[in-house]
Amino acid sequence: MDTIKDMSSNEMGEENNLDTQEDMGNLEDIDTIEINNPEYYLNREISLLEFNWRVLQQALDVNVPLLERLNYLCISSTNLDEFFEVRVAGLIQQFEIGDTYIEADQVNTQEVLKLISARAHELVDEQYQVLNEVLLPALEEESIRVLPRAEWTDEQTKWLSTYFAEEVAPVLSPMGLDSAHPFPRLLNKSLNFIISLIGRDAFGRNRGYAILQAPRALPRVIELPQELKPDGQHRFVFLSSIIHAFAEDLFYGMKIKGLYQFRVTRNSDLAIDTEETSDLLRAISDELTHRNYGDEVRLEIAHNCPKDMVDFLRVECGMHEDNVYLVNGPVNLSRLQAVCALVDRPDLKFKPFTQGRPSALPAGGDIFAAIRKQDILLHHPYQSFTPVIDIIKQAAADPNVLVIKQTLYRTGAKSPIVDALVAAAQAGKEVTVVIELRARFDEAENVALASRLQQAAAHVVYGIVGYKTHAKMLLILRRENNKLRHYVHLGTGNYHRSTSRIYTDYGLLTSDKQIGEDIGHLFVQLTSLGKVPKMNKLLHAPFTLHEGLLNRINNEIDNIEAGKPAHIIAKVNSLVEPEIIQAFYRASIAGVKIDLIVRGVCCLKPGIPGLSENIHVRSIIGRFLEHTRVFYFANNDEPAVWAGSADLMKRNLLRRVETCFPIESKRLRDRVIEDLNIYLADNTQAWILSSDGRYKRVEHEEGAEVICAQTTLLEQMATSY
């Protein structure tokens, strides 16, 4: 495991960082610095791969429960799948049509693909090294084993043979390749086998090669029955091992010379021209049927597959050698999540917790009365998502509620929020729902939700053509004392009960009239295609959010130049947008201290003398997925705190409908600032970014207080059981 230790240390990254800083020289002031110089930007795609590497490092952290470490390995595999399905697929398309579109680092499409291939191959090799050399031995020490064929007992072999005959073979359709049976178009990310055969079939044909695709209905990991394993121990077998052992039964009169698993990853982005289609719902429904058969972008093959068979598969799949990955283990690591689900070992998993609930919102109380008294800020997953569901349920049953309007981006197939909206519509209330049908990989669920709400007589719209509706907002109009009062929920995350237990997000409940009017104007714009509304308090994309953030960064520059306090803290998922990065650079040159907490992609280079030496970037990777988007500005000792749905990316700031809302209550504002300071003090789950794009994990000094932001917040707002 020396390789893993070397990669974790990032020693090479530190040396490169010093070289980079020396090469850039001593930069003096903003007037002499070309802040759009491509040397000052990190590549977006490589930064995303580095984030996935940080996730993988969680699988090596002995402080993380063992089954959760296995889960992190699976997550890194799933993340990499999506990276190829979307990011790499898009770059390949750009290259093929001659589009040389480049990001701020000015690296052209062809070169980016080469960089991706090199880093992704390293990442995949490390994934399988972690599996084979670290996790599987560690699991074995806990009496959890995945049995290779060579170690099956006679009794186990007999049981598995019966399992193959009764459960597997009947649903398999092996295809011998010849002129009448060309190489099949394989399902995206399906488990397949290429088989080399010797002999002739019943028709006298010498097949040579055959392809076998395992249906997705078959489990990829099978647990042996209790009588075939020691008491209290777990024994698993991969489906691929079972097929390896008994596949010859499918080819009567022939012998299998070699059998090797492989998997093809395809372009999974939906190709829909929103300007041309007259029915977006139908267009997306039709396009979903083709998602699993897009163009090939990656080919994974068992590492022991002979070169001639590798070349055969590569040619048949139309793949360049750079996109072929030879793997020492199952071709889909994410399937190992089944082990986490099947093994009932609480000692090897994260300790369960009970989500807290703000004292201002007692369970079963009048939620409208509570919000009238004060703004309420929810911090998920430390605090429960239930109040958000409760307010919609109460609104659906309240005769004084006249109108409910809500955006839905990712909500889940079985959503209590949708149940409440349906109940409200059936009760005769005016229910308007803006559903973003193009939420990637949730399109099918959103199409079903749209149909269900329409059947309940809710008004359903799909946002603005060409602009995804990513804002998270809820508006309830309630008649009180012969006047309409606005009740609003604004969030940084989706209206999804399940993800609210694993994503960190803020949600603001308020009855502020001006914010309510702002949200009302936004809904009118979304449904009627009206003019840009003038906002009282909110910033919104694609109109005022980008400029509003730039103005506030510039205000900190003005303050520092006037000798006033200046400080910026931003916590986001991604930082890509060049103008925002340039504004941060200008602020750093002016002397503004900038702390950036960026979970994933960061294209800004911190720590360059004279340019970004006042900028510090950290990433928090832990039990929960950091998802809050928060912006703090010192504002001359009158702190301004904003939260919103948008990341600092072009698509969010300029090509989506997003909201960013102020936290005006001093009590709540101070709480958010305290949360940010906890993240900045984290010395257990934080990674520090160097100017060369490498991350180094923060290590607390001996004797120093150990601070884990997520654990601290969990203890403050929730109780374990």
**DSSP 8-class letter at 655:** S
- What ranges do the domains of the chain cover? 6-129, 147-272+294-348, 353-537, 541-720
563 φ/ψ angles, rounded to the nearest 5 degrees:
80, 15
Task: State the Cα–Cα distance between residues 634 and 592, nearest whole angstrom.
Answer: 10
Q: Which position has the token pair 């049927």?
A: 289
Whether residue 644 contacts residue 545, with contact meaning beta carbons closer than 8 Å, is answered with: yes
Per-residue tokens: 298: 């990656």
Q: What is the pLDDT of residue 270?
A: 53
Task: State the Cα–Cα distance between residues 486 and 458, nearest whole angstrom.
Answer: 20
What 3-state class would DSSP assign to 684? coil
Q: What is the pLDDT of residue 282?
A: 57
Q: What is the pLDDT of residue 689?
A: 98
Interhelix angle 66-82/44-57, nearest 10 degrees: 160
Which contacts (CB < 8 Å, 24+ apart) does range 696-701 have? 696/9, 696/10, 696/13, 696/14, 697/8, 697/57, 698/618
Q: Which of 425, 448, 424 is nearest to 435 (CA)?
A: 448
Whether residue 153 contacts residue 225, with contact meaning beta carbons closer than 8 Å, is answered with: no
CATH number of 353-537: 3.30.870.10
Q: Which of 77, 220, 60 is nearest to 146 (CA)?
A: 220
705 burial level (CB within 10 Å; 0-12, 13-18, 19+): exposed
Q: Where are the alpha helices (DSSP H) in 58-180?
A: 66-82, 89-96, 109-130, 136-141, 154-163
Q: Are strands 656-662 and 430-435 parallel, antiparallel or unpaired?
A: unpaired
Contacts of residue 150, defined as CB under 8 A and 6 or more positions apart, other chains included, come to: none
Per-residue tokens: 454: 């329409």
**Cα separations (Å) of 695 from 64, 76, 145, 351, 703?**
20, 17, 33, 28, 24
702 burial level (CB within 10 Å; 0-12, 13-18, 19+): exposed
Cis peptide leading into 542, omega within 30 of 0? yes
Q: What is the pLDDT of residue 204?
A: 57
What fold characterizes domain 541-720?
A: Endonuclease; Chain A (3.30.870)
Domains 6-129 and 353-537 share a fold: no
**Cα separations (Å) of 699 from 207, 705, 711?**
59, 11, 16
Q: Which of 607, 628, 721 is nearest to 22 (CA)?
A: 607
What fold characterizes domain 147-272+294-348?
A: polyphosphate kinase like (3.30.1840)
Whether residue 184 contacts residue 211, with contact meaning beta carbons closer than 8 Å, is answered with: yes
Q: Which of 400, 394, 387 is nearest to 420 (CA)?
A: 394
pTM of the predicted structure, to 2 decimals: 0.90
Annotated catalytic residue within 234, 379, 380, 470: 470
Q: Are strands 191-198 and 209-214 parallel, antiparallel or unpaired?
A: antiparallel
Task: State the Cα–Cα distance between residues 229 and 241, nearest whole angstrom.
Answer: 18
Task: State the Cα–Cα distance between residues 245 and 258, nearest whole angstrom.
Answer: 11
Whether residue 43 contacts residue 115, with contact meaning beta carbons closer than 8 Å, is answered with: yes
**Cα separations (Å) of 90 from 21, 38, 83, 207, 421?**
33, 22, 10, 37, 37
Instruction: Report CA torsion sign: 116, 117, 122, 126.
Output: positive
Amino acid at position 444, single letter: A
Torsion of CA 449, 451, 455, 458, to 10 degrees: 60
> What's the CATH class of domain 6-129?
mainly alpha
DSSP for 360-413 reads TS-TTS-HHHHHHHS-EEEEETTB-SHHHHHHHHHHHH-TTEEEEEEEESS--S
Whether residue 620 contacts residue 626, with contact meaning beta carbons closer than 8 Å, is answered with: yes
Task: State the Cα–Cα distance between residues 365 and 296, nearest whole angstrom.
Answer: 55
Task: State the Cα–Cα distance between residues 35 and 39, nearest whole angstrom.
Answer: 9
Q: Is 244 a catalytic residue?
A: no
Per-residue tokens: 514: 């001006």
Whether residue 656 contacts residue 526, with contact meaning beta carbons closer than 8 Å, is answered with: no
Residue ranges for the chain with pLDDT beneath 50: 1-28, 272-278, 720-721
Give the Cβ contact number of residue 721 at 10 Å: 7
Q: What is the pLDDT of residue 291?
A: 54
Q: What is the pLDDT of residue 442?
A: 61
Task: State the Cα–Cα distance between residues 25 and 29, nearest whole angstrom.
Answer: 12
